[in-house]
């Protein structure tokens, strides 16, 4: 089963998710979306497959969010997508795609639902939290 992760190596949740995928025995396609952002059509497809409102994929913690006034609820979905494409750091991560579906994997153990072998055993996250997926 092919697995793709839209990954930011600077993000602990993204690193934990990638490590869980690998611990399951799978080697995913890793797309560092800050270097290679998805095309507009692909981003829309991912959002649709996740079944999320566009705004819920918008990362609020990073600087451009406040500077661009994105907390304003009058921005349309198309405008929010435009902002995410212009500033990929605004795309919340990690997004994982597998034959089992597409999910924003926050928290990282959400990825287990997408893995062909979710029984990865004991996993210790970077923050020390232990996940037991036996």
Yes or no: say if 37 and 128 are a contact pair by the CB < 8 Å rule: no
Q: Say how far apart CA 120 and CA 112 lie, in whole Å.
A: 8
Let me know the angle formed at the C-alpha of 45 by 65 and 73, rounded to the nearest 5 degrees.
30
- Specify the 3-state DSSP secondary structure of 101: strand
How many CA atoms within 13 Å lie on the side-chain side of 63? Answer: 0
Neighbours of 45 (CB within 10 A): 14
The token pair that represents 6 in the structure block = 């839209």
- Is 11 in the active site? yes
Which of 3, 11, 31, 81 is catalytic? The answer is 11
The structure tokens 């994929």 sit at: 57
Catalytic residues, which ones?
11
């Amino acid at each position: 089963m092919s697995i793709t992760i839209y990954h930011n190596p600077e993000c602990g949740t993204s690193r934990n998710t990638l490590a869980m995928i690998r611990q399951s025995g799978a080697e995913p396609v890793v797309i560092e979306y800050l270097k290679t952002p998805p095309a507009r059509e692909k981003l829309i497809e991912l959002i649709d497959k996740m079944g999320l409102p566009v705004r819920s994929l918008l990362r609020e913690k990073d600087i451009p969010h406040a500077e661009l006034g994105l907390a304003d609820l009058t921005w349309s979905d198309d405008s929010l997508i435009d902002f995410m494409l212009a500033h990929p750091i605004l795309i919340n991560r990690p997004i994982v795609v597998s034959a089992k579906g597409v999910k924003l994997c926050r928290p990282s153990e959400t990825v287990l639902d997408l893995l062909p072998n979710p029984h990865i055993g004991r996993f210790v996250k970077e923050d020390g939290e232990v996940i037991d997926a036996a």
